[in-house]
Structure 1
């Protein structure tokens, strides 16, 4: 829908080829787990409050599903030297990604690289509290220091968005993501995407997101009018 809307508004859209996203996410996780657990405990110790491990809402009228994800990381004990090696790997990958981005000048037909990347925010729509199990779709931009802005696209239609037949899964996480979806549970759940720009381009990202949002609004209006 977003691609169709942008093309209808006169914009050029090409397919983006991800570059070593799995490796970038691995590096982010190594950096995060090197001290975040200790940081959580130090901050909360000042008040004695517990460290939340999930956004699940459990009260007397509801029950936890028992399949919740915890965002509290396991503490990784690494030396300063080991951490700097990870940082060096990240810096090298950032350089490769910059070159990859610049190389799109050969494909855009505009004489310049792509202005932004439009990508999923997660491998699913908005999920019930406590059920978010994957941050890789945003963590990769943390590794690259690229600003991103999430924008709404549509909502789940239980009648149209039926669960597809099972397929060959890449790994256990892929299978868990497939099993998570249920049309009834996710009915009317927001569906969003993110627009990603380069480092230090926060204002440009906001401006481009407004352009995309406007194109989507015009597309939805014209589509609705054509059905009348």
Structure 2
């Protein structure tokens, strides 16, 4: 395909998407031509959303929204229309969508309202709840492109297991969101759909690969969204947009029906999880998925029933202030210290946790991500001749084709590292007052609160836990402040650290949310969520 041809394909796809936005939901050119870096205030000032629609879309969280729906104070139709309209506005401001089904969503909402009115009961626990889904998740009748021009017209024939279970619980699908070309990037940009912007600061990344979910949910264009994570793709977008999110153990919930069945390797498995406005919303989605008994549909899923754990009044939490590879920026350091101080004030026990060979872990991880030097994804790019996006091009330059011997050794190295890291975690029992290992580990979510477009950041704070397959939760804490000035006395310890240090300027990062990460043990999502609730409660004090 010629350059002109792939550009025509991309232009046609974008035009088709825009045509699905009702004309009376279009923003005036005067607003679009003079957007501030922080576009959040525009949702209220543009005049397209009524007072009722603002109330609906800015409700506390899904649990509160569902209370209104199930009590019939709000109909499924008016809730759906409100979020469709807000998503349409978001699309014009920050470009988070790659497929729209507003009409299908309206019909589904009317059917749910009719059922509730006639039967007097809801279809399920998510009755009437609009949910957005990432591009790479199969949603029957909607596009799935993975950001490749070659897949511009590819439509899913079935629902992913995660989608099927949420629909049966009463959820409404109304849109799908953008991801970067290939998915292996922490910024969301593709030749097919363009660049997705951070609503708090459009000069910076919304995260990746689930950047569309992060951006859409960050500006309340969705009550909750479903994302995936093989190297930080749930956690970076949640963190950059001030949201809660969980990257579960890869075998805990069904990934069947995502990424069209290819990832290029099987040593580090992707997992699926929600991004939203509260931990109780996160837990709600996990409970619905688990109640569906996904192990009856997907042989990889561990057949473990959800057993809620009590929220501890005194948790023992390890703190890793940095990974000894890249020093976090000042606002990230401040956020971790804020959480530590509040946890201590709330009576929780804090233990210093020393990182264990995190730079070596990244070297292992990167080889696993590209064992064929990216040949599986290069094929899709070469079909149309579209250019490779900058971040992915840099990874391709570093990737090496592994032979069978090298791959076998890599598997051994990974298992050995997992074994050693577990022992390192268990050894914390010698530091705790309980004589037991730490309940969870608090870390920066990343070295930076976001990053400039087309920059290649340090993934280690995120990918570390994919290599180990430990579940992680993202918790909002604060935002970048003018007083978060650069530490002029700090001396970077390596070139990566120097790059990250040089990148920071509080003015450049203005208004960006700042989050922390809480890490738990493999397949112990209930315990992690319970500890996260205790931490979140302390943060809010």
TM-score (normalizing by structure 2): 0.36
> Is 1:37 aligned with 2:360?
no
What residue number does 1:197 align with?
520
What residue number does 1:224 align with?
none
Gaps of 5+ in 1: 56-68, 219-228
Query: 1:111 and 1:84, CA in 2 relative to 1: closer, same or farther beyond 3 A?
Result: same
- Structure 1 contact 40–51 (Cα < 8 Å) conserved: no
Aligned residue among 23, 26, 33 for 2:363: 26
What residue number does 2:140 align with?
none
Q: Deviations over 1:200-225 (max 9, x none)?
A: 1223223322221111001xxxxxxx
> Is 1:210 aligned with 2:530?
no
- Structure 1 contact 37–73 (Cα < 8 Å) conserved: no
User: Structure 1 residue 44: deviation in Å?
Assistant: 4.8
SS where residue 374 of structure 2 aligns? helix
Matches for 1:121-160 after TM superposition, within 5 Å: 121-158=445-482, 160=483
Cα distance in 1 for residues equivalent to 2:432 and 2:442: 15
Query: 1:27 and 1:184, CA in 2 relative to 1: closer, same or farther beyond 3 A?
Result: same
Q: Which has the larger radius of gyration?
A: 2
User: Structure 1 residue 197: deviation in Å?
Assistant: 0.7
Deviates more, 1:200-209 or 1:95-104: 200-209
User: Structure 1 residue 43: deviation in Å?
Assistant: 4.5
Q: Deviations over 1:116-146 (max 9, x none)?
A: 1111122122223333511011111111111
What residue number does 2:349 align with?
12
Query: 1:73 and 1:10, CA in 2 relative to 1: closer, same or farther beyond 3 A?
Result: farther
Cα distance in 2 for residues equivalent to 1:75 and 1:26: 11
Q: Deviations over 1:46-67 (max 9, x none)?
A: 7776543349xxxxxxxxxxxx
> Is 1:80 aligned with 2:404?
yes
> Is 1:53 aligned with 2:390?
yes
User: Structure 1 residue 169: deviation in Å?
Assistant: 2.0
Cα distance in 1 for residues equivalent to 2:442 and 2:367: 26
What residue number does 1:180 align with?
503
SS where residue 13 of structure 1 aligns? strand
SS where residue 191 of structure 1 aligns? strand
| Backbone CA RMSD of aligned residues | 2.2
> Is 1:105 aligned with 2:429?
yes
Q: Which runs of 4+ in 1 moved over 6 A?
A: none
- Structure 1 contact 125–190 (Cα < 8 Å) conserved: yes
Cα distance in 2 for residues equivalent to 1:156 and 1:71: 29
> Is 1:117 aligned with 2:454?
no
Cα distance in 2 for residues equivalent to 1:26 and 1:127: 22
TM-score (normalizing by structure 1): 0.80
SS where residue 535 of structure 2 aligns? helix
Q: Deviations over 1:54-87 (max 9, x none)?
A: 49xxxxxxxxxxxxx9455643111111111011
